[in-house]
Amino acid sequence: MAALLSALPGHDVGEDVSSVGRVFNPPANPAQLYLEQTEFPKYLLAKSLFDCREFQRCASVFLPRQSIRNTWTSRQGTVYDRISRKALFLTLYALLIAGEKQKTEQKAQVLGTADNGATVNQQLPDIRHILQASLDQTHEVTIENDSNLYEANLLFSKVLALDPRYLDFFDHYSNVLYNLGSHDRLAFVAQLASSVDSHRPETCLVIGNYYSLSSRPEAAITSFRRALVLDRSCSAAWTLLGHEYLKAQNTHAAIESYRHAISHARHDYRALFGLGQAYDALEQPDLSLHYYLRASTIRPSDTDLLQAVATGLAAMSRLEEAIKVLKRALACSASEDGVAAKQTRAELLFRLGGLYNEAQNREEATACLEMCLDKALEGEATCRPAGTSERLDMAMIPKAQLLLAQWAVEDGDSVSAQRLFQPVVLVDNIPVLSYQRAMLLATEHLSPYPPFGVLGLNTDGVESLLHLRKPEL
């Protein structure tokens, strides 16, 4: 055995691995193929030891016992990066069986007082340690992709440059490009996927996302259905198909698609969120809130999901619970940075002020709207010198100023009302009354401002106000 181990080639075999051995059923990933070709002699030895039921020795071919705790980490350049997935599976399986064999040997031949069921597989902690390293590495990429679309786009671009024919991640990449609105880049990825393999579900999903971004819902639905013909259990295809049906206002087909997605992936929060939106469209707040809550349990820090939950609670007049949920969403968004995060915080404060107003808590509502103005104006000032194309949506600023000015008029604070009215120019492209006209209407005990709901001002009320004819002062 020592002679056999000495005859095995090392890891540094160079670029030419054609003479090392022939790999059966080669993987599509070139990196994995290279590793399998490099370790082919060792793999044959390990497989022979496994067939001879020498499980511990089989595992030690790729992973010596003393290196389990020291070398199996998620750092680059360690043993983890030098072993193929096939060899990893064989090693872990051999360790598992070796542990089961040891557990059986530790038990008494006949049940006695010492047999209390406490005998465990001693190899399980080592196996867990090895797998945790792999999971940690994957989790880091997942967190980065999920928290920042721009960072995810950069990471996917690097992977694409390394291996343009690796289609396994193309559907995720297309989702990122879709959310970023990168039409040209998504068109390039769709064309590349079609040239590599047009009969892959991932290719159909990329093409469907391109058609959806191009406002061609019929073509997008056709592409997603083609992906389901190729793989009926593709939950991502069911979810995207539901999104397209929901855009086309075919809510019943959307609900059916989302249910299929959940049947194949119970923790698909996008399908659960889509079901909530579909039942919202059908005006069934109980069911929509149920699915929003289920989605939020899977992603408790997602501000969009928390806003949807708060909207559902407010629609059912559960204002106190809705306020708590929005506060939680505001706390979750505090750690985020960027233009979109600042926009989200300003919107959350605006909606929180609306909920406090509905709950007859004018003091808290005023504080929230003032913070909303501060956050929105601060974010706009931050974006201007950077020279970036990203800009905050300023529609909430005149709405918040308008409501604060109304409250100032009602409280008799003419100085604050005038200060707030002067910057207000447009509310949803509708001119706002001057301070003098507002004071006149307030003096005559008219209510020129519409009620303030969870989603903002009712602009129809502002339009009707503009048609009032009052004598000039």
Grade residue 81 by pLDDT with cuts at 50, 70 and 90: low
Q: Is the pLDDT of residue 93 over 70?
A: yes
Copy the structure tokens of residue 30: 């070139």
Predicted local confidence at residue 18, as pLDDT: 46
Nearest to 272 by CA among 250, 251, 298, 247: 298
Q: Is the pLDDT of residue 206 over 90?
A: yes
Q: Is the pLDDT of residue 426 over 60?
A: no
Residues 6+ apart with CB under 8 A from 333: 303, 341, 344, 345, 348
Predicted local confidence at residue 412, as pLDDT: 73
Predicted local confidence at residue 186, as pLDDT: 95
Predicted local confidence at residue 80, as pLDDT: 57
Higher pLDDT, 442 or 457: 442
Grade residue 213 by pLDDT with cuts at 50, 70 and 90: very high
Please give the average per-residue pLDDT across 96-103, as a whole number: 82
Q: Any bridge partners for residue 430, and if so which?
A: 427
Q: How far apart are CA 429 and CA 441, in angstroms?
A: 22
Nearest to 398 by CA among 377, 384, 368, 413: 377
For 137-150, write each residue's pLDDT tens digit.
Answer: 454 445 443 457 77
Copy the structure tokens of residue 80: 């983890």
The mean-pLDDT minimum among 14-18, 97-101, 163-167, 366-370 falls in: 14-18
For 454-464, write each residue's pLDDT tens digit.
Answer: 333 343 433 33
Predicted local confidence at residue 447, as pLDDT: 39
Residue 207: what residue type? Answer: I
* CATH numeric code, 302-383: 1.25.40.10
Give the distance from CA 434 to its chain's centroid: 44
Q: Is the pLDDT of residue 22 over 60?
A: no
Predicted local confidence at residue 338, as pLDDT: 65
Please give the average per-residue pLDDT across 221-239, as a whole number: 94
Give the distance from CA 316 to its chain's centroid: 27
Higher pLDDT, 456 or 279: 279
For the chain, residues classed under CATH 1.25.40.10 are 302-383
Please give the average per-residue pLDDT across 93-120, as a whole number: 69
The whole-chain average pLDDT of the chain stands at 74
Predicted local confidence at residue 26, as pLDDT: 67
Percent of the chain with pLDDT over 70: 64
Please give the average per-residue pLDDT across 314-325, as a whole number: 90
Predicted local confidence at residue 453, as pLDDT: 35
Q: Is the pLDDT of residue 19 over 50?
A: no
Which uninterrupted H or E stretch holds 207? helix 201-213
Using the Cα atoms of residue 398, residue 403, residue 405 and residue 406 in order, give the sign of their dihedral. Answer: positive
